[in-house]
């Protein structure tokens, strides 16, 4: 274990008063495993997943900012879980992978021009001597509304995206693993986004002005078979 997996960083700001308070309030349990599980569910369900409101500034990417605004996307929610674990004395870091996301909306596809999401973020937590992957991105309400299988975490096995949804449709495919980091590699991420998503700059405002849940619901209704 590296000492840095317990220390605050620029974006995993586990020394922020709001993060410390959040960890104390939600990190109950008799051991690290139970505390990590409690923190996982507090992050997963306490903050709405919203990929339309991505702010790649240093402030926008901080774990403490998720607490302030009440929503996040995969990277910032993973950073918050890592920060909360560190504040609770549990070693944690962030991991990244490229995934093929079949939940992407038309608005997202216009911006990204692909269904391949680079730098998908998750958390790795050290529990009983083993690094366990935990993915707190999709809150339970989102999963229930759109027929997704929620990701559970027990501290004993990895919690990664399901390949299929409840109806057996393709949901998420892991294409490439990028490894783990003690802090979110923001400069590397933003450089890749600019290179790999050429329409990002010109269409990002349009995505931020949309409603992710409404778009998903509209497209799901349009794709549903007619019973008339």
pLDDT in tens, 126-152: 999 999 999 999 999 988 888 888 999
Higher-confidence residue: 60 or 145?
60
For residue 141, which of 150, 132, 128 has the smallest C-alpha distance? 150
What per-residue confidence (pLDDT) applies to 223? 60
Q: Where are the domains of the chain?
A: 3-148+159-214
pTM as predicted: 0.92
pLDDT in tens, 26-55: 999 999 999 999 999 999 999 999 999 999
Question: Does residue 159 have a pLDDT over 90?
Answer: yes
Query: How many other C-beta atoms can be found within 10 angstroms of the C-beta atom of residue 113?
Result: 14
For residue 134, which of 66, 56, 77 has the smallest C-alpha distance? 77
Q: Running DSSP on this structure, what letter comes out for residue 226?
A: P
Fold that domain 3-148+159-214 belongs to in CATH: C8orf32 fold (3.10.620)
């Amino acid at each position: 274990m590296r000492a840095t997996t317990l220390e605050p960083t620029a974006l995993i700001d586990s020394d922020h008063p709001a993060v410390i308070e959040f960890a104390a309030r939600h990190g109950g349990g008799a051991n690290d495993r139970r505390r990590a599980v409690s923190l996982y569910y507090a992050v997963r369900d306490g903050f709405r997943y919203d990929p339309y409101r991505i702010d790649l500034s240093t402030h926008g990417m901080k774990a403490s900012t998720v607490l302030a605004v009440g929503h996040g996307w995969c990277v910032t929610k993973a950073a918050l879980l890592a920060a909360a674990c560190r504040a609770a004395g549990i070693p944690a870091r962030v991991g990244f992978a490229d995934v093929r996301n079949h939940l992407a909306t038309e608005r997202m596809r216009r911006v990204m021009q692909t269904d391949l999401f680079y730098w998908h973020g998750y958390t790795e937590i050290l529990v009983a001597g083993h690094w366990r992957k935990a993915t707190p991105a999709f809150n339970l309400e989102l999963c229930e509304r759109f027929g997704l299988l929620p990701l559970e975490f027990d501290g004993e096995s990895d919690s990664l995206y399901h390949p299929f949804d409840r109806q057996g449709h393709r949901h998420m495919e892991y294409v490439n693993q990028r490894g783990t980091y003690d802090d979110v590699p923001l400069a590397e991420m933003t450089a890749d986004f600019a290179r790999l998503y050429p329409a990002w700059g010109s269409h990002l405002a349009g995505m931020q002005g949309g409603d992710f849940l409404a778009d998903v619901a509209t497209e799901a209704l349009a794709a549903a078979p007619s019973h008339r």
